[in-house]
Structure 1
Amino acid sequence: MTLQTAPRAPLPPFSFEDAVQKVRMAEDAWNSRDPAKVAMAYTPDTRWRNRDTFLNGRTEVQAFLTDKWAKENGYRLIKEIWAHAGNRIAVRFCYEWHDEDGQWFRAHGNENWAFDANGYMAVRHASINDVPIADAERLFHWPQGRRPDDHPGLTKLRL
């Protein structure tokens, strides 16, 4: 068994607790802003829709994330489970970032995920809207990287 085929627990079918764990693992990975690490959570032939961009395979995902995080500065993300069944999980999320001119944005979105039997994400559909915000409206203030366990999630932040 290779690194690319080793099971990636938790495996489907997901219990509620497994699904919550999978969501937090995804949030932590994306907050690392490490495109190579994040891409390894997906099947080699993963299919994505991200806004108006369609991607196929880990190589395209890694390139997309490299470009994304080169322009989305100060990126901090919170994901929250919406629903789950079998090998599927739906999440809602918000992330804050600023552009090269210092304008902050809060991106609001939903994702639908489908996993293979080894726990890798095979399909990801993401719908996302960016809303300009003032620096004073920011809510995500932890140091770059993993969101601290005691930082409120989306529901407590009323997002």
Structure 2
Amino acid sequence: MTSTPLVPPFTREIAVAKVRMAEDAWNSRDPNRVALAYTEDSHWRNRAEIFQGRDAIRAFLHRKWDKELDYRLVKELWAFGENRIAVRFQYEWHDDAGQWYRAYGNENWEFAENGLMRRREASINDRPIATEDRRFFWSAPGPRPQDHPGLINAPI
């Protein structure tokens, strides 16, 4: 990690740390923990849903993780600027019938001066996969182990 405050303007080190912190929080599947990374009035677009504010974020995450069971996520820095970060990600989950999916996505993040995210725009596609095609097997909920590969060389 970094000893530098995780606020803009971002260096590569800060951007990588922000991405990993976000990944770890989302892998906790704790809507309250995740929501604290966003400003009170944060604007979100997630797939076709558009909403604003921490209460809406918490409600969205509760719905998400009630549907997306055994969720495991890997995020990776794609690009960064002064107060913006772009990431790509993949996550796996199954529905209540046992069908596994891999979600592929990209996010654009914009941060306030205090380091909280004030805007998140996510484009995501789900693809059904066979159980034997899964890639993410660490204990969940919980963070991805440090020695687990990222996405740089992951097949599409």
TM-score (norm: length of structure 2): 0.95
Find the aligned partners of 2:153 and 2:20 in 1 and give their Cα distance. Answer: 16
Q: What is the correspondence of 1:63-142 to structure 2 with a 5 Å cutoff?
A: 63-142=59-138
Find the aligned partners of 2:155 and 2:113 in 1 and give their Cα distance. Answer: 35
- Residue 55 of structure 1 and its aligned partner are, at CA, apart by 1.2
Find the aligned partners of 1:149 and 1:101 in 2 and give their Cα distance. Answer: 31
SS at 2:43 equivalent: strand
1:156 to 150, 153, 156: 153
Find the aligned partners of 1:93 and 1:54 in 2 and give their Cα distance. Answer: 20
Query: What number of residue pairs does the alignment pair up?
Result: 151
Segments of 5+ residues of structure 2 without an aligned counterpart are none
Find the aligned partners of 1:154 and 1:100 in 2 and give their Cα distance. Answer: 27
4+ residue runs over 3 A deviation: none
SS at 1:45 equivalent: strand
Segments of 5+ residues of structure 1 without an aligned counterpart are 1-8
Amino acid at match of 1:115: F
Find the aligned partners of 2:86 and 2:155 in 1 and give their Cα distance. Answer: 19
- Residue 104 of structure 1 and its aligned partner are, at CA, apart by 0.1
- Residue 157 of structure 1 and its aligned partner are, at CA, apart by 2.5
1:37 to 19, 33, 36: 33
Q: CA RMSD in A?
A: 0.7
TM-score (norm: length of structure 1): 0.93
Find the aligned partners of 1:86 and 1:157 in 2 and give their Cα distance. Answer: 28
SS at 2:96 equivalent: coil
Find the aligned partners of 1:158 and 1:136 in 2 and give their Cα distance. Answer: 15
C-alpha deviations, 1:57-80, integer Å up to 9, x for none?
000000000110011001000000
Find the aligned partners of 1:78 and 1:130 in 2 and give their Cα distance. Answer: 15
C-alpha deviations, 1:114-158, integer Å up to 9, x for none?
000000000000000000000000000111010000000011333
Find the aligned partners of 1:102 and 1:25 in 2 and give their Cα distance. Answer: 29
SS at 2:34 equivalent: helix
Amino acid at match of 1:93: F
